[in-house]
């Protein structure tokens, strides 16, 4: 009769409920981390593809002398990523029309910075220091690695 009037949970029931919640939470956290990492990986691949496409398009236009004679030492590659955002004046345009190749410099999803590693066409392909002559390639400055062990900086 005394038991029928009692309401609430016993200590054992609370411990069991919290243990079940702890187990479920501990399973969900690694899944969420791997999902976030996969999303950052996908975003990095997209950003690198966009920037490399813009660099190649600049090179094609420069080779066609759309910007006039190329600057000495650049080999028709852009001087910086900012030049792709700011745009380059068309030589034949009387009103100073510019061609822009990027809307903005994307943020690296791993470093959360717009600072990207740059390589010129005179640099070693695996170099982590930029010679400063031109921008031939971009890479992430993160030290993290992909699931297959390849550093993201080598993408």
Summarised one tens digit per residue, pLDDT across range 28-77 is 888 888 899 899 999 999 999 999 999 999 999 999 988 888 888 788 89
What pTM, to 2 d.p., does this model score? 0.77
- Going along 1-52, which residue ranges are E strands? none
Q: Which two tokens stand for residue 70?
A: 């190329």
Tell me what the pLDDT averaged over the chain comes to. Answer: 87
The arithmetic mean of pLDDT across residues 90-115, rounded, is 90
At a CB cut-off of 8 Å and minimum separation 6, what does 8 contact? none
Helices H, strands E: what count in the chain? 3, 4
């Amino acid at each position: 009769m005394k038991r029928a009037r009692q309401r609430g949970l016993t200590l054992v029931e609370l411990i069991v409920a919290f243990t079940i919640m702890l187990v479920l939470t501990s399973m969900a956290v690694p899944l969420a981390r791997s999902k976030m990492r996969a999303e950052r990986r996908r975003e990095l691949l997209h950003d690198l593809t966009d920037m490399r496409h813009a660099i190649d398009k600049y090179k094609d236009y420069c080779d066609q002398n759309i910007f006039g004679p190329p600057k000495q030492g650049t080999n028709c590659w852009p001087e910086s990523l900012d030049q792709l955002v700011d745009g380059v004046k068309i030589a034949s345009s009387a009103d100073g029309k510019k061609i822009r190749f990027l809307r903005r410099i994307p943020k690296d999803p791993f470093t959360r910075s717009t600072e990207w590693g740059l390589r010129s066409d005179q640099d070693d392909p695996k170099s982590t220091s930029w010679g400063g002559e031109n921008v031939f390639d971009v890479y992430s400055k993160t030290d993290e690695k992909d699931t297959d062990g390849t550093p993201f900086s080598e993408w």
